[in-house]
Amino acid sequence: MKFTAKEIAKFLNGDVEGDPGAVVNSVAKIEEGHEGALSFLSNISYEKYIYTTGSSVVIVNRDFRPSSPVSATMIRVDNAYEAFASLLSIYEESKPRKKGIHTRAVIEKSAKIGKDVYIGPMAYIGENVVLGDRCSVYQNASIGDNCMIEENTAIYPSVTIYHECIIGKNCIIHAGSVIGSDGFGFAPQADANYKKIPQLGNVILEDNVEIGANVVVDRATMGSTIIRRGVKLDNLIQIGHNVEVGENTVMAGQTGIAGSTKIGKNCMFGGQVGITGHVKIADGTKAAAQAGINGNILKENLTVYGSPAFEYRKAQLSHIIFRKLPELKDKVDKLADDIEEIKNR
């Protein structure tokens, strides 16, 4: 597909600076730009590349003021990153999507299959499954009995969705993820063994949820593990049984949430954040990478850091003091020696 700078600017409500007839037919990072490519600049640390890029068109923020001549045509918008993301979404949607049911797919007779779906080879659709219109189930994916998957949801290769789970509209579940496996529930016995507690609940993913690759969301012991609408989970994340994740919360890779924790909406968690079980996390909480949260966070829009995690600014000051501990110890030891000397006098 080919677009001119003028056409792109019209769609983005932007202003062209340069050749409005400049044509693009691909996208590229600004440092790897080539003729016919569209790039963007939002992070000022990449500014140096705009003066050397081979891209034909670059989307920039309205307040960007180049310090040298720019050969590429620029389109000025309010937010270059958001604008570029919008264009990528349109480009992705314009690609032809697969339709039809592969002859090697296995679909139980009681399943209800919607219109314009795609079911790939070796995919399995269980008893009484409801698969909505325009869903895609790629090769080797497995959908257990009595699941309901609403329209426009994509389930990528080797995903496993256990029985009785509910997946909303416009969801994406990437390769290798497991939805609805048993929660980690074992009762200690008098003989030092552990008795498995049956996990009788399910998992609910609401609309517009995206699950990264190799993520596990455990089913509830009773009731539901719930991932609310708009949640985005990175790769390699563990969500324990009976957890509830609030709307539009995002988590980076290797985050782990223990069972029965309730997370508010619009939260952000960096990589390798760990949250203990049975705690409440307020709306708007931000946790820096590797934060360890072992208690309730009840104040909204708080940023936490460290393990155990506490308020970011205090944690940073504490870290500065921690790094000075060897020097402080030497001073304390010297003061102790001085005091002992004075006593001896």
> How many whole angstroms from its chain centre is CA 54?
32
Amino acid symbol at 31: E
Q: What is the CA radius of gyration of the chain?
A: 27
Phi, psi of 129 (to 5 degrees): -70, 140
The length of the chain in residues reads: 345
The yes-or-no answer on residue 241 being catalytic is yes
Task: Lay out the sheet containing 73-77: strands in order across.
Answer: 15-17, 73-77, 57-61, 37-41, 26-27
- Which residue of the set 34, 241, 278, 319 is catalytic? 241
Cα–Cα–Cα angle for 61, 66, 69, nearest 5°? 130
Q: Provide CB contacts within 8 A for 235, sequence distance 6+.
A: 174, 212, 213, 214, 215, 253
Q: Is residue 133 within 8 Å of residue 147, measured between CB atoms? A: no
**Of 132, 124, 217, 205, whose CA–CA distance to 172 is shortest?**
205
| E strand or H helix that includes residue 90 | helix 80-94
| E strand or H helix that includes residue 6 | helix 5-12
- Supply the residues annotated as catalytic: 241
